[in-house]
Amino acid sequence: MKKDKAVVLVVEDNTIIRMGAVDLVLAAGYEVLEACDADEAIRILEARSDIDLVFTDVQMPGTMDGIKLSHYIRDRWPPVKLIVASGAAILEESSLPDGSRFFPKPYDEHAITDAMARLLASGRSTLTVG
C-alpha cells in the first residue's frame, strides 16, 4: 500500500522552535510527528515503520545529542533521510552520516523545505511501504 504523504519526525527540545518546525513541515505538505529529545525520537522510530525523514536539533537534553542521534538512525534505519540544525554549533556535513544535510539556525525555511523535498524525492522510489 502506497502512502500519500511523507512522514517527517521533528526532534527539538525547545517547544516554541519545535512548534515552528512542525508548522513548516505541515505547510510543506508532509505528515509530521514530534519528539522533545533523542530518547523520545528513538521510541517513535521503534514504534513506526513509516518515517521517511528526521529533522533534528543538535543540542538536546538526554542520552544523546542530534549528531549521535543522526548516526544512530543511519545505522539502525538506513533509508531514513536526515536534516540536522543547530544554533550553537556550525558543523561540517562530513561529521554527519552520509546523505545528511546541516543547517545553521536561524535557518531559512525555504532552504529547509527544499532540502526535505530533494532528500525525500531521492529515496521515495527505492523505499517499500508495506
**Per-residue pLDDT tens over the stretch 20-77:** 999 999 999 999 999 999 999 999 999 999 999 999 999 999 899 999 999 999 999 9
**What local confidence, expressed as pLDDT, does residue 3 receive?**
67
**What local confidence, expressed as pLDDT, does residue 99 receive?**
86
Cell numbers linked to 72: 544512530
State the helix-helix crossing angle for 15-27 and 109-124, rounded to 10 degrees: 60
Which H/E stretch holds residue 117?
Answer: helix 109-124
pLDDT in tens, 67-126: 999 999 999 999 999 999 988 766 666 788 988 999 988 889 999 999 999 999 986 433
For the structural domain made of 7-107, what CATH number should be given? 3.40.50.2300
CB 5 within 8 A of CB 33: no
**What does the alpha-carbon distance between residue 73 and residue 28 come to, in Å, rounded to a whole number?**
23
**What does the alpha-carbon distance between residue 100 and residue 54 come to, in Å, rounded to a whole number?**
10
Which sequence spans correspond to the domains of the chain? 7-107
**What local confidence, expressed as pLDDT, does residue 92 receive?**
65
CB 12 within 8 A of CB 59: no
pTM of the complete model: 0.89
